[in-house]
Homo-oligomer: A and B are copies of this chain.
Amino acid sequence: MAKHTSVETGSEKRCFGGTVGFYSHDSEATGTRMNFSVYVPPAASEGPVPVLYYLAGLTCTEETFQIKAGAQRYAAEHGLILVAPDTSPRGVGNPGEDEDYDFGTGAGFYIDATREPWSENYNMYSYVSRELPEVVAAGFPADTERQGIFGHSMGGHGALTIALKNPERYRSVSAFAPICNPSEVPWGEKAFSGYLANRSEWRDHDATEIVRAKPLEHHILIDQGMDDEFLEEQLSPDAFEAACRESGQKLTLRRHPGYDHSYYFISTFMEDHIEHHAQALVE
């Protein structure tokens, strides 16, 4: 499937009339071999289709979304390409890289690190928002003028911040249980202290801070389970909601009793998210 010469195909599997494929390439942004997965829907055989990026949470890989989220059915129905990158560079060799589940490998936080030694390779912001779209454009039947982005938890933080900082690049954004206000919670404090050289940089990677200053024209969809084990300590949807109200950002924040942080929650509301993006992306 991939036509880009530097992209190596791992496997490709038929799914809902399209193809789930696993690919790798040498990334300039991270200086490492990066993995990503792509679902190409049947409609792509008739010409380029819009692209929806999914950013996964802590400890996940490019496989998690394709295996657990049940999104291919809806992407096939609406004619969307789904792209899921890995969650960090791997095998860099920095001290402490593999010690904690919430820092280093599997925990890139979708920012460009400015603190040594992480700044050398941990550049997931540039990778996801700049390099990967070029790789996708070169290798897949993608209409990169029509891009959307969504994600879960750490990847929800990634999707919100990348969309808010690049309104010209993404026409739609949504998130499942995102880390909304990372500057104020343990996961975010650990990541930002580790990856960023100065505390003054934090607010530029915090969706609640960004949306308060500069809302999007299009509307944001967020789903949050009310039995989510990380809700109280890490996720802060109330702070994000308040900031949206202040700046006039249109937001649909749905709170679902009984649901937790897992892909059983995500798969339940996946159809609504794909429809949210399809409304903005599919003409």
Contacts and interface: CB of A to CB of B under 8 A. Distances in A.
Interface of A: 13-17, 20, 66-68, 70, 72-73, 225, 227, 256, 258-260, 262-265, 267-268
A76 B20 CA distance: 26
A44 to B, nearest CB: 15
B227 A14 contact: yes
B68 A264 contact: no
B227 A267 contact: no
Contact of A67 (B16, B17, B67, B260): B67
A184 B84 CA distance: 42
A70 B267 contact: yes
Nearest to A69: B70
A16 B263 CA distance: 11
Nearest 6 pairs of A and B residues by beta carbon: A15-B264, A14-B258, A70-B70, A13-B264, A14-B259, A16-B268
A7 to B, nearest CB: 20
B264 A20 contact: yes
Contacts of A73: 70, 267-268
17 contacts: A13-B262, A13-B265, A14-B225, A14-B227, A14-B258, A14-B259, A14-B264, A14-B268, A15-B267, A20-B264, A66-B264, A67-B68, A67-B263, A70-B267, A72-B268, A73-B267, A73-B268
B68 A268 contact: no
Nearest to A271: B73
A70 B56 CA distance: 19
A37 B66 CA distance: 22
A37 to B, nearest CB: 11
A209 to B, nearest CB: 32
B14 A260 contact: yes
| Interface core residue of A16, A227, A264 (most chain B CB under 10 Å) | A264
A236 to B, nearest CB: 22
| Interface core residue of A14, A68, A265 (most chain B CB under 10 Å) | A14
A95 to B, nearest CB: 34
Contacts of A68: 67-68
A260 B72 contact: no
B260 A13 contact: yes
A21 to B, nearest CB: 10
A68 B20 CA distance: 14
A70 B66 CA distance: 11
A81 to B, nearest CB: 16
A265 B15 contact: yes
Contacts of A256: 14
A65 to B, nearest CB: 12
Contacts of A72: 264, 267-268
